[in-house]
Amino acid sequence: MSGPVARSTATGTRVLAAGHWRTALELGFLGAVWGASFIFMRIAAPEFGAVPLIEVRVLTGALVLLPFLWLERSAFVGAPWPKIALIGVINTAVPFTLFAWAAQRAPAGIGAITNSMAVLFTALVAFLFWRERIGRVRLLALCTGFAGVAVLAIKDVPGADVAGAVAAGTAAAFLYGVAANLITRHLRGLPPIALACATLIAASLVLLPVTVATWPATPPSGGAWFAAIILGVVCTGAAYAVFFRLIQRIGAPRTVTVTYLIPVFAVFWAWLALGEPLTLPMAIAGALILGSVAISQRAR
């Protein structure tokens, strides 16, 4: 093949290859950043407390994304603001707080592993409330994932409340599943990054009264403030922008494969930064949960 057709084909191949590598790099970035978020919560939550830390996180993230909301402000004239506020509560304010609460009580890898259940809960919620077909394979995946949660919860770590942290992380993952279905059904058509900013603003307003009432009497250290700001700027603002851009480019089912990377990175960062080891129950639970997510995605 030669001439214009050959040149066009070669150019198209290079574009596809560039897109493939960009997608892989962005997924790796999200896995590394969201895995690190559990480390930063582990560092900052004991000094801030769960709610004040998350207020700092979501408010900082909203400020990072605010230019996107401003540019798309015309799309939000007449928008369903009560639904946007609800999504801010159940997709950000409450689950973020639950993970911060868990970070005060158990190793960082616990929260990251339970976070992976969000994909399975999305399918379960769609089945329970919207009667979407779940199928035998995905039902098997759900059972396997819950078995992984049970294995994770029975491990006793001295000085830690593992069962409480697992319960909090699982509840947060369930709320992610509810929110994913509500966004798909009720907020379709709004600019996604601007929508993410709007939900962060709603979450910060909801958390503000509790934050004022529970702000720590002892000022948090510089290290805690650094961790909180990184949580907001990088792990929330920048990560949300990349995440929603990936959804636009490659679709939600492929984007959600980042779920496989988050626990791996979280356990690695926890070992590297905090000296937290990967225990056998964590490895078994992680294998069960991530395996169940893989089965679920394959069935989809």
User: What digits encode the pLDDT tens for the residues 94-116?
Assistant: 999 999 999 999 989 999 999 98
3-state class of 226 per DSSP? helix
Burial class (CB in 10 A: 0-12, 13-18, 19+), 182: middle
Residue 258 CB neighbour total at 10 angstroms: 23
Listed in sequence order, the DSSP H helices in 104-159 are: 108-115, 118-130, 135-153
> How many angstroms separate the CA atoms of 254 and 264, rounded?
18
Residue-wise burial string across 35-52, b where 16 or more C-beta atoms lie within 10 A, e elsewhere? bbbbbbbbbbbbbbbbbb
Residue 226 CB neighbour total at 10 angstroms: 14
Average pLDDT of the chain to the nearest whole number: 87
pTM, two decimals, is 0.86
CA 58 and chain centroid, separation: 13
What does the block give as tokens for 163? 């069962």
For residues 53-59, average pLDDT: 98
∠97-270-283 over CA atoms, to 5°? 95
* Predicted local confidence at residue 240, as pLDDT: 87
Give percent of the chain with pLDDT exceeding 90. 50
pLDDT at 269 over 50: yes
> Does residue 125 belong to any structural domain of this protein?
yes
Name the residue type at position 256. V
> How many angstroms separate the CA atoms of 3 and 174, rounded?
55
What does the block give as tokens for 253? 């089912």
Q: Which domain holds residue 237?
A: 29-299
> Does residue 13 belong to any structural domain of this protein?
no
∠236-113-186 over CA atoms, to 5°? 50
> How many angstroms separate the CA atoms of 145 and 95, rounded?
19
Cα maximum dimension of the chain: 74
What does the block give as tokens for 15? 């574009």
pLDDT at 7 over 70: no
> Does residue 8 belong to any structural domain of this protein?
no
> Does residue 4 belong to any structural domain of this protein?
no
* Predicted local confidence at residue 22, as pLDDT: 84
Rg of the chain over Cα atoms, rounded to whole angstroms, equals 20
> Does residue 44 belong to any structural domain of this protein?
yes
Summarize pLDDT for 202-242 with one digit per residue, the tens: 999 999 999 999 999 999 999 999 999 999 999 999 998 88
Residue 8 CB neighbour total at 10 angstroms: 11
* Predicted local confidence at residue 255, as pLDDT: 75
Q: Is residue 79 within 8 Å of residue 255, measured between CB atoms?
A: no
Between 5 and 90, residue with greater pLDDT? 90
> Does residue 289 belong to any structural domain of this protein?
yes
> Does residue 246 belong to any structural domain of this protein?
yes
> Does residue 150 belong to any structural domain of this protein?
yes
> How many angstroms separate the CA atoms of 192 and 190, rounded?
6
| Domain count within the chain | 1
